[in-house]
Amino acid sequence: MASSALLLTGEQVAGIRRRRGFDVSMAVFALLALCLALLVVMPTGWLLWYSVTNDQGQLAFGNWLALVTDPSLRAAMGVTMVIAVSVAALCAVVALPLAFLIARTDVPLRRTIRAAVTASFVTPPFLGAVAWEVLAAPNSGLLNVWARQIFGFGRYQHLFNIFTVSGVTFATACYTFPYVFTLLTNAFERVPTELEDASAVIGANRWRTARDITVPLVLPALLAGMLVAFLQALTLFGTPAILALPAGFNTLTTKLWSLFQYPPQTHLAAAASMPLLLITALVLWGQRRVLGDRSFVVIAGRSGTTRPIALGIWRAPALLFCAFIMLFPVILPYFALFKVAFVHNISEPLAWQNLSLEHVGFALWGISDTQVALKNTMLLGVLTACIVTVVVLVTGYAASRRLVPGHRALPVLAMAPLAIPGIVMGVGLFLVYTHPPLMLYGTIWIVLIAFVTLEMPGGYQQVQAGMSGLHPELEEASRIFGASRLRTLIDITAPLLRSTIVSIWCIVFIGALRELSAAILLANANTQTIAVVIYNLNESGDMGPIAVLGILLMLITFAVVILVNRLPMLGGGR
């Protein structure tokens, strides 16, 4: 009977709606949709215009012709494709067995290995490239120094050379494979045990079951992961800039950056951005065609909890394999950074008597750019995370609840930056905001716009997944009692999505701290971030301060993420 007190007559509901008056929420949602459109349309529109015009503003297709006739541009495109395809293949080869061992077997220290993979994901790729420069430079690299000591090689003989196409591929794969690993691990953990049991009943052993049943079921996730790895390698700037440029070859991203050196060739840079933009869009379209319309649902009964496969005598070899894989993205690079940061001379052994804080003092107080860069990095990271979290939450709510006309376009606008590589976005924003009335170049706001735009798709994917699991009943009750759409979002929907909101904030914050490709084009001496400072120091060979700033960047990342997750009203409270 108590529930009948909640029932309202039609006249009461109508009276509540009349008292509600004008709902400002609709204006907010419409304004947000307009801002999303401007964030995407303006940079790409200016890119297209500049690519088909000359310095006098006249239509000219010489820039596009240069993409075919210019040997340096053709070479950069070829190298980029080789690296991207190789990285995708290498990530698949490494991530598939590693994900299977972690998700489906009783290999020891599974949580520790997952944590190590997370550390490699958080590590900025350009910082990993610097670490591998310390480890595998042909003359001074630690691995080559140790090889000379162990095998008696000559002074200029070496086993490893990171300054090659294969070296760039390897360093890129070290910090790209976590994307593939995560998708595969989730897929392995969702494989129904009934099919594996049926395979065992008809006589197949565990390894044949894994080969014939389990692995085929995760192939869609493997394909999706390889496409992600391909796109990451295709659009990456930091690793090629640190390892390819000293070796004398370019990728498309480093070639774009070089076109902005004095004198800047903005029209050619706009045209050279188009292949990256088109390839990225085509790959995403192909992924949607292959995976988007197919659910890959397994027809089976009720699925039980997955049972780990007992490895028996193979547990120790499996653990050694996992540890061997973790050597390359985490153990060796972190050791190299620590050694360079806290030893006076890189050639000295890492011993107590050789430890020094000289590089720490110089990096934090001896470099004039450090203090400003630290403030900019934290400001941009926090602002980007807060803005993206609010925007994707409101956008996801408006789209999923169909609140505004044209709501189907909102997901398209929010996800469109996924097809725009960071370096291309930097070029587009440079072209947009170096003309009146929007003269933002040289300010921190243009960098913030770039970061917000680039991090939007990842945040929107998270909120879309969260919204799909919420039934609108409580929201409808709030509306009946007179709350506006925004009040309903703030009081009802957002608290229910608390863990999703925390996840979005942390992911976007990490992404903003890692971003280099757009910042390198848009930042100046007053607006540069720690990532830009590290890149500039690498050009002058100051490895000690680079290692200190890299470690500091990692500590800031972990500290902020842990703090956010422990806030009572967010991750840690009830």
pLDDT tens series, the chain, 574 aa: 444 444 445 454 445 444 444 456 667 667 777 787 788 888 888 888 988 888 777 888 888 888 888 898 899 999 999 999 999 999 999 999 999 899 888 899 988 998 899 888 889 999 999 999 999 999 888 999 888 888 888 777 888 999 999 999 999 999 999 989 988 888 888 776 666 666 666 666 666 766 667 777 788 888 888 888 998 899 899 999 999 999 999 999 999 888 888 788 888 888 888 888 888 888 877 766 655 544 333 333 444 456 677 888 989 999 999 999 999 999 999 999 999 999 887 777 777 777 888 888 888 888 878 889 999 999 999 999 999 998 888 888 877 777 666 667 777 778 878 778 888 888 888 888 887 777 888 889 999 999 999 888 888 877 877 776 666 665 666 566 556 666 777 777 777 778 888 888 888 998 899 888 889 888 888 899 999 999 988 888 888 899 999 999 988 888 887 887 676 655 444 3
- CATH class for the domain made up of 69-336: mainly alpha
Helix, strand, or coil (residue 26): helix
Spell out a b/e string for 2-28, using b for 16 or more CB atoms within 10 Å of the CB, else e.
eeeeeeeeeeeeeeeeeeeeebebbeb
Cα–Cα distance, 484 to 403 (Å, whole number)? 12
- The residue count for the chain: 574
Cα–Cα distance, 479 to 46 (Å, whole number)? 42
**Global pTM?**
0.83
Q: For residues 163 and 139, is the Cβ–Cβ distance under 8 A?
A: no
- DSSP characters over 52-107: TB-TTS-B--HHHHHHHH-HHHHHHHHHHHHHHHHHHHHHHHHHHHHHHHHHHB--
Quick one: tokens of 128? 């990993």
Residues 345, 531, 162, 261, Cα dihedral to 10°: -110
Q: What separation in angstroms does the CA of 71 have from each of 76, 257, 432, 452?
A: 9, 17, 29, 35
The three state secondary structure string of 255-323 is HHHHCCCCCCCHHHHHHHHHHHHHHHHHHHHHHHHHHHCCCCCCCCCCCCCCCCECCHHHHHHHHHHHH
Cα–Cα distance, 502 to 488 (Å, whole number)? 19
Helix, strand, or coil (residue 343): strand
The dihedral of CA 125, 127, 129, 132: what is its sign? negative
Cα–Cα distance, 396 to 406 (Å, whole number)? 13
Cα–Cα distance, 441 to 434 (Å, whole number)? 6
Domain boundaries, the chain: 69-336
Q: Residue 346 burial (CB < 10 Å; 0-12/13-18/19+)?
A: middle
Which long-range contacts does 144-153 make (Cβ < 8 Å, 24+ apart)?
A: 145/347
